[in-house]
């Protein structure tokens, strides 16, 4: 599979080969669903906590006699039926992590990339996109020349580029990340993917290893 290679002026210069083992497979929707579910579950902090009867501060004195009042019996103010009482089976701190086999995770990322490769202009390769110092305005101008200023775009670099990352940090529709950090959720949560230099080869090596 071939995609267009662009320079920083937004002009096509050549073609790049994308591996059919990654970008040309038949997508597996269920694998994508499982991996996105795993990613979103891992984002949950799980620090919720409600005090139960044994943890509420208050007297344990019996507030009224057992019988003869005409009302229901009550043991203490910590009773869950009273305002300020403990919560019955309240939430406790827990982890929401979901275990997923590595083969399924790789299949999910391949499937997501295959979907993007089928879209017209869903995947592009740009040569020479790097920055020594953070310059958001300059980076936004480059996206404008590529016709991506108003589209949700994921820029994938082969290795960490601090200047490029800092330049994109204040752009709500653009995100920069390394090929090694790419997840199924990130791929599905954008309109276009821009591979910088040989980033597509790096992700191919990771997913076919």
Span 23-68, pLDDT tens digits: 999 999 999 999 999 999 999 999 999 999 999 998 888 988 999 9
The residue written with tokens 């290679």 in the block is 5
Average pLDDT over residues 70-77: 89
How high is the pLDDT of residue 149? 87
pTM assigned to the model:
0.83
Residue 123: its H or E element? strand 123-126
pLDDT tens by residue, 132-163: 899 999 999 999 999 998 899 999 999 999 99
Q: What is the mean pLDDT of the chain?
A: 93
Burial class (CB in 10 A: 0-12, 13-18, 19+), 185: buried
User: Is there a single domain that holds both residue 161 and residue 184?
Assistant: yes
Q: How confident is the model at residue 209 (pLDDT cuts 50, 70, 90)?
A: confident
For 133-155, letters b (16+ CB in 10 Å) and e give: ebeeeebbebbeebebeeeebbb
Average pLDDT over residues 184-196: 95
User: Is there a single domain that holds both residue 203 and residue 112?
Assistant: yes
In a domain, 40, yes or no: no
How high is the pLDDT of residue 1? 83
pLDDT tens by residue, 36-47: 999 999 999 999
d(CA 14, CA 12): 6
In a domain, 38, yes or no: no
In a domain, 20, yes or no: yes
Tell me the CATH number at 107.
3.40.1370.10
84 lies in which domain range?
Answer: 45-95
User: Is there a single domain that holds both residue 104 and residue 91?
Assistant: no
């Amino acid at each position: 599979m071939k995609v267009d290679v662009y320079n920083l002026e937004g002009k096509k210069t050549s073609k790049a080969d994308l591996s059919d083992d990654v970008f040309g497979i038949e997508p597996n929707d269920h694998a994508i669903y499982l991996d996105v579910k795993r990613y979103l579950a891992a984002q949950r902090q799980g620090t919720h906590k409600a005090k139960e009867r044994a943890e509420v501060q208050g007297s344990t004195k019996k507030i009224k006699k057992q019988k003869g009042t005409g009302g229901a019996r009550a043991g203490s103010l910590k009773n869950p039926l009273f305002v300020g009482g403990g919560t019955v089976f309240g939430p406790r701190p827990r982890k929401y992590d979901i275990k997923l086999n590595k083969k399924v995770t790789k299949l999910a990322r391949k499937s997501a990339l295959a979907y993007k490769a089928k879209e017209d202009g869903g995947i592009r390769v740009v040569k020479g996109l790097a920055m020594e110092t953070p310059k958001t305005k300059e980076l936004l101008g480059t996206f404008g020349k590529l016709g991506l200023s108003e589209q949700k775009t994921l820029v994938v670099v082969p290795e960490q580029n601090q200047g490029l990352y800092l330049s994109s940090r204040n752009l709500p529709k653009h995100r920069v990340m390394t090929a090694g950090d790419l997840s199924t959720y990130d791929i599905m949560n954008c309109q276009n993917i821009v591979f910088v230099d040989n980033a597509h080869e790096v992700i191919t090596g990771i997913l076919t290893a």
